[in-house]
Structure 1
Amino acid sequence: MNKLIYTGLAFLLIIVLFLPVYFISSSSDSSNLSVIKKVNLEEFNIVIGKETDLLQRALSSDAKTFNPVMATETSSTAVIGALFNGLTKTDVKTLLPEPDLAERWEKDKTGTIWRFYLRDAKWFDGKPVSADDVVFTYNQIYYNKNIPTSARDVLTIEGKPFIVKKIDDKTVEFILPKPFAPFLNAVSQPILPKHILEEYVKNNTFTSVWSVNTPPEKLIGTGAYKLSKYITGQMVIYERNPYYWEKDEEGKPLPYIKQIKAQIIKDPDVALVKFLSGEIDIYGVRPSDLPKLLPKAKEKDFTIYNLGATPSTTFICFNQNPNAPIEKYKLKWFQNQKFRQAISYAVDRKGIINIAYNGLAYPLYTAVTPAERRLFDENFYPKYEYNLKKAKEILLSIGFKEGKDGFLYDKEGNKLSFNLITNAGSKEREIIGNILKEDLKKIGIEVNFQAIDFNNLVSKLMSSGDWDAVIIGLTGTLDPYFGQNVWLSSGHMHLWNPKQKKPATDWEAKVDELFIKASTELNQKERDRLYKEAFKIIGQQQPMIFIAAPEELVAVKNKFKNVFPTVWGWYKDEYMFIP
């Protein structure tokens, strides 16, 4: 099933639009069990629903790009996710790969040669999808060093690309340097039309093609929906793709929903009002919304779904990039492991969870959340329990001294002060920023906190490098391998110091080694051990000071059938920023 990402503030929701199904992750301590529905994933039933003319929903931000290869944030993939397909996709009920553009595949005995047989799919303009499109997408886009895409980080083994070649019009062969477990999930990356995009690759303008100013009819994909209208700051409208191939058990064309209207609503309070008034059919619920929503559930005929922990994370990150336009003395602070550990001790995770998330989140000290059951182990990873006294002691031990004004100063006399940014509109992150500002002031640190537009924030993180520290969120991934765009030192989203030609530190080199070794390890227990060791190092080093894994709630109008909530419903083959 294709997935369309729906973002509501810090909450991430994917909507599967074939059997009008909604994938969500949520939890609540409310006693109103008839309103907040706890779902047992092992007791899953699905019935064939009727065609629905319209789904109304909301998006929390405009897209930054319509180009799926260049997108690094869910504000973009939320708009374009339903337009494209990969060779494979993930069945969110089984979490196993299943056919998408490829109707079947086979491999040799070594596990290094794979053949994919394409289905009779068509592009939106009616032209057939062929092996040429697949070869073009991989060899000329994903493996093109002139195109800076995070996808390349998950399409290599030990730094080596797959060899991708055409056998005939409907058959493609992949030759791998080594067998590795997540291959079938890796090839779920979007396939793009050669007849439309090859000219832009050849003239080196691909990175700017399909901008948000591109007319919708120029966006050519294969997905379940076509983009029919995009009005910046107002509305996105989708129409069902008449060429889409999938059918239900009775032979009816999928998806059932014929049209989707998504209002762009940056203020979640406005989105809540529109949900209650009937202008929106689904709503990503914030913990603070529950007092307003619970009494209205029966009257307005909706259900709030509850699934527990999500793999998405919220964290603080300091800029350690030596090429970034920040003061060198700040860079020296941020690159000091003990400085980062001191800040981690100063983060009141439990207080933040109670105030910002109404108790609906889990404290984190490394990148692994309770949703990742094989890797999550509270006793294995280092913890940094809230302790302002210890935080200040660490800062004093590395050379900071307290001035007459109560603030700390480094050995060169620079005041311990930094700018902290987050995205405007996320009440949870704004609360976190203000709590952190007040707590750090208590130990002599001045924090200049500001909330800015999400797309502007992403530009600072991914392009200009003009930032000191940020509060942001990342999606998780079904397999740690697909987090290589963040965790490998060469990764495009190695946020604190991206795209390193060689590891800047010994610990980053060790994490690289563990991730690379795990990528070709076929024994699941050994793979898990290697990943856990890598995340333990990340927890010790605190390059990203993880705060919480928020639980997610979603309210869905009861007129929709086949509602199947799952914590992995938003699954993406690489990490992405969450508004």
Structure 2
Amino acid sequence: MNQLPRRQFLLTAGAAGLALTAAAGCGTGSTRAPAADAASPRQGGRLRAVFAGGGSNETLDPHLTNLFVDAARAKALFDKLADYGSDLAAVPRLAESWEPDAALRTWTVRLRRAAFHDGRPVTADDVLYSYRRIADPKRAFRARASLEPIDLAASRALDPATVEFRLKRPYAEFPNVLAAFGAYVVPDGTEDFTAPVGSGPFRFTSFTPGRSLLLTRNPDHWEGAPHLDELELLVAAEESARVNALLGGQADYAHELHPATARAHQGEGKIEIVRLRNSAMQGFVMKTDRPPFDDERVRRAFFLIADRQELVDGALSGAGEIGNDLFGKGCQYYPAGLPQRAQDLEQARALLRAAGAGNLRVTLDTSPVAAGFVEAAGIFKEQAAEAGVTVEVKVGSKDTYWKDVLDGGTFASYRSGAMPIESHLSQRLLSTSTTNATHWRRPDFDELYAQAQSTADPAARTALYERMQRRLHDGGGFLVWGFADWIVATAPRVHGVAQDAPANTLDWARFDRLWLA
């Protein structure tokens, strides 16, 4: 009987088993025909969108936002001061403008005229209450870390429409804080979210945790009323259930599809596929403070071992594009001019010999916690063998994986979703970063970051970010081999879906902009 070579088996297994569960990053692209959204917007109807859910413990507290369905619910009901554009640069929302002082330590934010669903105006007191609630150290709100640069005790309302934020240090990228995931503005004093009152484009009607949220259009939204009369956000844990709901007419929009599913239905006319390119970073992390990866020559050798296209084809079923060992491809501040790194096994072997690691053995920690992780680990194991490196793949628990690899092990599978490059640098690559999985701790690198945040001139600040990223590209601990596509699907009657909207950015899940033909 003929058998596939092991490498081909791994590629085939990756294609069959992939599920894109990563949060999205930067990127563009879609398979929807250009003419599909050409019709003029129409008023009315109920759109039903189905997401993976979180079960009976779900809440409508926007500060507890964690899953994609939470984020979709929160942005329908509430607003933030800012949000991220498709390049992960902050754009104004409830904030009409923001302006720093010369030292970049005091930022004045002016609010636009907006109202909550009960008619009360959105004021500076609402903003300060919301941010202080998020920052409460006794709570476990995800956005708390993002708000850390603000001295909320010293910040104040100058008038009902103006907030003066005092910061603990200079921060040129302060607008990123205003756009932080989960940093929604709620009415002053709000603690009960059983029937939430927000300022978003839809108003609350009813909610059954783990099943359905029904909303109605807000005719008084500051950005204009939605086209839809009603929006129903449904949950289904399994991708097959979401697709079947779409095919059977029980849903109009299905979030988070497998590439294999998209290919199966592409061009069939039953559903429309929206494929957002370059959305989720995929790679490996190397601990730079422990052998063998405390030697930069070993890290550089591993960069050269990776056949990135083979990893994309195998682990992502080809639904993505290759990376270049840096986060945020396509985002603001990304150094696109750096040469693309390619596999060079001869040079990799030479670097390993020079480092005294000619017969290197390493353990690669991975887990089915994210789509493509186990497949990518198997493919890289085969690639490393060609350079004389023995890789033992260790599959860990889905429940504890991220905690286990943050400080444990030396080499591990890694994934990241959407955030600005500046946030990636500050949260993962400074000596004080709490999620520094590569243990990259360099005081001079920290100083470059501090210098960038004290630099008001955008061009000079961009140059500093490029210096930092060139250093990471030369010998950092992130081996970024690819960026996965993000795939959603709609019924043919749904129009207005943004074609350039990575998850957790402004135009992702913008149900207020959709209409039904």
TM-score (normalised: structure 2): 0.74
Are 2:303 and 1:344 equivalent residues in the alignment? yes
Q: Secondary structure at the match of 2:326?
A: coil
Q: Give the equivalent residue in structure 2 for 1:263.
A: 236
1:174 aligns with 2:170: no
Deviations 1:437-482 (A, max 9, x none): 33334534232342643x54344456xx455543232123356357
* Residue correspondence of structure 1 range 172-251 to structure 2 within 5 A: 172-175=163-166, 182-188=173-179, 189-191=183-185, 195-196=189-190, 217=194, 223=200, 224=202, 228-231=207-210, 235=211, 237-240=212-215, 245-246=220-221
Aligned to 1:54: 47
Q: CA deviation at 1:135?
A: 2.5
Task: Report the AA paired with residue 91 of structure 2.
Answer: P
**Aligned 8 A contact 2:86 2:501 in 1:** no
CA distance in 2, matches of 1:488, 1:148: 23
SS in 2 for 1:258: strand
The answer as to 2:414 corresponding to 1:495 is no
2:356 — aligned with what? 399
Any gaps of 5 or more consecutive residues in structure 2? 1-18, 507-517
State the alpha-carbon separation in 2 of the partners of residues 567 and 388 from structure 1: 37
Counterparts of 2:32 and 2:217, CA distance in 1: 37
1:309-458 correspondence runs (5 A): 309-310=278-279, 312-319=280-287, 331-372=290-331, 375-378=334-337, 380=338, 384-400=341-357, 402=359, 408=360, 416-424=361-369, 426=371, 428-442=372-386, 443-450=388-395, 452-453=397-398, 456-458=400-402
Distance 1:432 1:168, change over 3 A: same
Cα 1:333–1:466 change in 2 (3 A) is: same
Change in Cα spacing, 1:418 to 1:371, as seen in structure 2 (3 Å) is same
1:304 aligns with 2:276: no
Separation in 2, partners of 1:286, 1:303: 14
Q: Deviations over 1:256-298 (max 9, x none)?
A: 4432112222xx45544444344442344444334411252x2
The 3 A distance-change label for structure 1 pair 114 and 225 is same
Percent of matched pairs sharing the same residue: 15
Q: Could you say if the C-alpha distance between residues 370 and 468 of structure 1 is closer, same or farther in structure 2, counting changes exceeding 3 Å? A: closer
Change (3 A) 1:94 1:288: closer
Partners of 1:61 and 1:85 in 2: how far apart? 22
Question: How much has 1:185 moved relative to structure 2?
Answer: 4.4
Give the corresponding residue for 1:282: 254
1:20 maps to none
Contact 1:345-1:385 within 8 A present in 2 as well: yes
Q: Aligned residue for 1:577? A: none
Q: Which moves more between the two structures, 240-249 or 514-523?
A: 240-249
The offset of 1:547, in angstroms, is 0.8
Tell me the distance in 2 between the aligned counterparts of 1:75 and 1:339.
Answer: 41
Give the match for residue 472 of structure 2. Answer: 538
Residue 164 of structure 1 corresponds to 155
**Which of the numbers 20, 37, 41 marks the counterpart of 1:9?**
20
Deviation at 1:537, TM superposition (A): 1.0
User: Letter of the aligned partner of 1:258 in structure 2?
Assistant: L
- Cα deviation, 1:483-517, whole Å, max 9, x if unaligned, reads 522333323333333xxxxxx74xx3333223332
The answer on whether the counterparts of 2:81 and 2:92 sit within 8 Å (CA) in structure 1 is no
Worse overlay, 66-75 or 340-349: 66-75
Return closer, same or farther for 1:417/1:248 CA change in 2, 3 Å cut-off.
closer
1:317 deviates by: 1.3
Q: Secondary structure at the match of 2:266?
A: helix
Letter in 2 for 1:564: A
Q: CA separation of 1:549/1:148 partners in 2, compared to 1, >3 Å: closer, same or farther?
A: same
Does structure 1 conserve the Cα–Cα contact (< 8 Å) formed by 2:117 and 2:203? no
Q: Contact 2:285 / 2:478 at 8 angstroms: preserved in 1? A: yes
- Cα pair 2:126 2:185 within 8 Å, conserved: yes
Counterpart position of 2:7: none
The Cα offsets for residues 208-230 of structure 1, whole Å up to 9 and x where unpaired, read as xxxxxxx9728776544658222
C-alpha deviation, 1:165, in angstroms: 0.8
Q: Which amino acid aligns with 1:9?
A: L
Q: Displacement of 1:548 after TM fit?
A: 0.6
CA separation of 1:488 and 1:99: change in aligned 2, threshold 3 A:
same
Which amino acid is the alignment partner of residue 286 of structure 2?
A: F
Unaligned runs of 5+ in 1: 1-7, 15-22, 28-34, 198-214, 322-330, 403-407, 409-415, 498-503, 573-579
Q: What CA RMSD, in Å, does the superposition of the two structures yield over aligned residues?
A: 4.5
CA gap of 1:248–1:72, structure 2 versus 1, over 3 A, is closer
Report the equivalent of 1:485. 427
CA distance in 1, matches of 2:229, 2:177: 28
Correspondence for 1:571: 505
Counterpart among 103, 110, 120 of residue 116 in structure 1: 110
SS in 1 for 2:367: strand
Q: Give the Cα–Cα distance (whole angstroms) in 2 for the partners of residues 541 and 148 of structure 1.
A: 35
* Whole-Å separation in 2 of the counterparts to 1:489 and 1:554: 38
For 1:328, the equivalent position in structure 2 comes to: none
Output the amino acid matched with 1:430. Answer: V
Counting matched residue pairs gives 479
1:488–1:246 distance in 2 versus 1, CA, 3 Å: farther
1:85 to 63, 79, 88: 79
- Shift in Å, 1:338: 2.8
Stretch of structure 1 that moved more, 442-451 or 533-542? 442-451
Question: 1:80 offset after TM fit, Å?
Answer: 5.0
Amino acid at match of 2:194: E
